[in-house]
Structure 1
Amino acid sequence: MKWNIYQTITIGQLRVDAVTNSSVLQIGSAGSIQSLSQLYNTGGYTGPAPQLGEATTALSLVPLPNPT
């Protein structure tokens, strides 16, 4: 049996203490979580990206705050 549940949830503030590559955050109905992965090639790429050369030293990094 398959159930479709429609909800409206309003969240004023949400604090997440830690996030990892395998984290799951579920808000709403309890039940089983089925994984879904969808890959799209929106750029029309036909091969892998070129490797970074050793001359490339300036990488674009996003500064992160220190953990509290």
Structure 2
Amino acid sequence: MASNFFINQSIVIHHLKIGGISNSSVFQIGSAGVIKSLSNLYNTGNFEGPAPVSSAEIAQEQQNETPPSSSEIFVPLTGSG
């Protein structure tokens, strides 16, 4: 048996701060009967290739090339049974 809900809302927001929203985020205020997903991808900058490598990516690659220190080496432990 299906139930119908009728909701009257009055929402007042004085201050709203959102830390971050990604492509798969859902931001909702109040009640929603159905949330339909929508995804649009536009090349508004007319880019034709990948972005150049950032300095952070270069630094991370250089860090990964250095051998691990003795405190970073993990030895697998075996069970006592």
Structure 1 length-normalised TM: 0.42
Structure ranking higher in helix proportion:
2
Which one has a bigger Cα radius of gyration? 2
| Structure with larger RCO (C-alpha < 8 A, sep 6+) | 1
